[in-house]
C-alpha cells in the first residue's frame, strides 16, 4: 500500500507558510539572527520565527487572553495549513501524531519567574501547558480530530518517528489518514541546556565545514498529511516509501564516531523502500554543524554510498536546529524537492572537513528526474531515524 503525502504545512525562521519558506530557500535567505522574543543572558544566534505570540493568536483567531504555549501556537499554524492543503476533513478515522521536545516550557518559565519572586504569585494556567502532550491535545481539539492524539518525544528524531508511526497506522488499516510532524519553540531553558553541552556556535553554524564549531538553535513546526493512495483526491507531492528507526545507544548525547546508527537507519529505510543507494538523488542530512555529528553522518554516508555520493545538504543554516520539529519541517522541504525538482543549498560552507573531503551542495540546484530523497534525523541517546520519500508512481 502506498502512503502518499497530500498536504504540507510549515512555519519557521524563514517564513510563515509553505510559500514563504520556499521563497527564502530559493533565494538563499537565512532566518538565523539575534533572539528577540524572550530575555536571555546568552548572546548566540538562533532561528526565531519572526511572528510574536500576539500576532499568532490573531492569525489563528484565538482570544488575545488565551494562555497558550508558543509550541502549540506554532503547531496549530502549520497543521492547519497542511490539512487545508490536503483538503482533509479530520474525523475519527484520522490520526494526529505530533512530536516535541520542549513542550510548554516557555509558559513554565513565565510562571517560574513570578513564583521565584513571590511563592504566592504566578498563574497556574501557564503550567497547564507544560507537558509535551498539552500542545498535541490543544491542536487536535482545534483541528477537530476526535481520535485520541499521540505525542512523541525522542529528542531530535521526534518528528521523524511521528511520521513513521502515522505511516504504520495507515498501512495496518487503523486509520485512513494521519496528520504527522513536530513543533518546538525556543526558550531560555533549551538555550542553557545546549550551552552546558558546549555545542552552541557563537557565530553562524557551518554544517560539514572543516571550521564547524557547533549549532544554532531554532524553532518552528512542520506537518504532513499522509493518506492511502486509494483515497487520493488530487496528485500527491510524493510517497513515503521507506523508514527506519534504530537505537545505537552509543552515548547519552553523542553519535558513534563511525556513524553506525546513522548507517543502519539509512540502510533499513532504503531496504524497506526497495531503493538502491545509487538511486538516491538527494540526502537532506541531519547536519547540525557540531564537530561530532557532521563527521559521524559523513562517515555513514561514505560507508553507504561510497564513490557514488548523492547530492546532500543541511538546511539548518536557514532555520537553526529546531529539535523535535526538525524532521517535520525538513520533510516538508523534502516533499517540495521531489515535487519541484530541486536541491537546497548548504549555507556558510567553504572548506571540506579534512577527515572525509565531502562537499555539500552550496547553491540552489535544479535536478531533472529526482526520484528518491532521504531525510535523516538523529537524536540524543542514539535514537536515529531515516525517511525515504519517492516521486509518485516511481
- Average pLDDT value for the chain: 94
What's the pLDDT at 343?
97
What's the pLDDT at 111?
72
What is the 8-class DSSP label of residue 148?
Answer: P
Region 21-45: what's the mean pLDDT? Answer: 96
C-alpha cell at 273: 523502500
What's the pLDDT at 293?
94
Angstrom distance (rounded) from CA 63 to CA 44: 33
Residue 256, pLDDT > 90, answer no
Confidence band for 119, pLDDT divided at 50, 70 and 90: confident
Region 216-225: what's the mean pLDDT? Answer: 98
Of 68-77, 111-120, 125-134, 240-249, least confident by mean pLDDT is 111-120
Counting residues of the chain whose pLDDT is more than 90, the rounded percentage is: 86
What's the pLDDT at 381?
76
Angstrom distance (rounded) from CA 374 to CA 5: 15
pLDDT digits (tens, 9 = 90+) for 125-180: 778 888 999 999 999 999 999 999 999 999 899 999 999 999 999 999 999 999 99
Assign domain 3-231 to its CATH superfamily.
Answer: Thiolase/Chalcone synthase (3.40.47.10)
pLDDT digits (tens, 9 = 90+) for 190-204: 999 999 999 999 999
First to last CA, the chain: 14
Residue 394, pLDDT > 70, answer no
Region 247-256: what's the mean pLDDT? Answer: 79
CB 216 within 8 A of CB 44: yes
What's the pLDDT at 257?
84
pLDDT digits (tens, 9 = 90+) for 319-331: 999 999 999 999 9
Beta strands in 200-237 (DSSP E): 220-228
242-390 matches 3-231 in CATH topology: yes
Angstrom distance (rounded) from CA 327 to CA 92: 26
What's the pLDDT at 95?
98
Q: For the chain, which residues make up each domain, given as ranges?
A: 3-231, 242-390
pLDDT digits (tens, 9 = 90+) for 297-327: 999 999 999 999 999 999 999 999 999 999 9
CB 377 within 8 A of CB 329: no
Rounded alpha-carbon distances, angstroms, from residue 93 to 162, 231, 300: 17, 12, 39
Note the CATH architecture for domain 242-390: 3-Layer(aba) Sandwich (3.40)
Confidence band for 253, pLDDT divided at 50, 70 and 90: confident
What's the pLDDT at 121?
66
> By CB neighbour count within 10 A (0-12 exposed, 13-18 middle, 19+ buried), where does 325 fall?
buried
Residue 338, pLDDT > 90, answer yes
Amino acid at each position: 500500500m502506498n502512503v502518499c503525502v497530500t498536504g504540507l504545512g510549515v512555519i519557521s525562521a524563514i517564513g510563515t507558510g509553505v510559500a514563504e519558506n520556499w521563497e527564502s530557500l530559493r533565494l538563499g535567505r537565512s532566518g538565523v539572527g539575534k533572539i528577540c522574543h524572550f530575555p536571555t543572558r546568552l548572546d548566540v544566534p538562533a532561528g526565531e520565527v519572526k511572528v510574536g505570540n500576539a500576532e499568532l493568536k490573531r492569525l489563528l483567531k484565538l482570544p488575545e487572553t488565551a494562555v497558550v504555549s508558543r509550541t502549540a501556537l506554532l503547531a496549530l499554524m502549520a497543521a492547519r495549513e497542511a490539512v487545508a492543503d490536503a483538503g482533509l476533513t479530520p474525523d475519527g478515522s484520522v490520526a494526529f501524531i505530533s512530536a516535541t521536545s520542549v513542550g510548554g516550557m516557555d509558559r513554565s518559565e513565565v510562571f517560574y519567574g513570578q513564583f521565584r519572586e513571590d511563592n504566592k504569585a504566578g498563574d497556574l494556567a501557564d503550567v497547564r501547558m507544560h507537558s509535551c502532550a498539552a500542545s498535541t491535545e490543544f491542536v487536535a481539539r482545534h483541528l477537530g480530530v476526535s481520535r485520541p492524539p499521540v505525542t512523541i518525544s525522542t529528542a531530535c528524531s521526534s518528528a521523524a518517528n511521528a511520521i513513521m508511526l502515522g505511516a504504520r497506522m495507515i498501512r495496518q488499516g487503523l486509520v485512513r489518514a494521519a496528520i504527522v510532524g513536530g513543533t518546538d519553540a525556543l526558550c531560555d531553558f533549551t538555550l542553557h541546556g545546549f550551552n552546558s553541552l558546549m555545542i552552541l556556535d557563537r557565530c553562524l553554524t557551518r554544517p560539514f565545514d572543516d571550521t564547524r564549531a557547533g549549532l544554532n538553535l531554532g524553532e518552528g513546526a512542520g506537518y504532513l498529511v499522509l493518506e492511502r493512495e486509494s483515497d487520493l483526491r488530487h496528485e500527491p507531492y510524493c510517497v513515503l516509501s521507506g523508514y527506519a528507526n534504530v537505537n545505537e545507544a552509543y552515548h547519552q548525547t553523542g553519535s558513534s564516531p563511525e556513524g553506525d546508527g546513522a548507517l543502519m537507519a539509512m540502510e533499513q529505510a532504503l531496504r524497506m523502500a526497495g531503493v538502491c543507494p545509487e538511486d538516491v538523488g538527494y540526502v537532506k542530512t541531519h547536519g547540525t554543524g557540531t564537530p561530532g555529528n557532521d563527521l559521524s553522518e559523513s562517515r555513514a554516508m561514505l560507508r553507504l554510498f561510497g564513490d557514488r555520493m548523492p547530492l546532500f545538504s543541511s538546511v539548518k543554516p536557514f532555520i537553526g536546529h529546531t529539535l523535535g520539529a526538525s524532521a517535520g519541517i525538513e520533510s516538508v522541504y523534502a516533499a517540495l524537492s521531489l515535487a519541484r525538482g530541486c536541491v537546497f543549498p548548504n549555507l556558510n560552507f567553504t572548506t571540506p572537513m579534512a577527515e572525509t573531503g565531502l562537499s555539500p551542495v552550496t547553491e540552489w540546484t535544479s535536478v531533472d528526474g529526482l526520484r528518491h530523497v532521504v531525510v535523516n534525523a538523529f537524536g540524543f541517546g542514539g535514537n536515529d531515524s531515516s525517511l525515504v520519500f519517492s516521486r509518485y508512481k516511481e
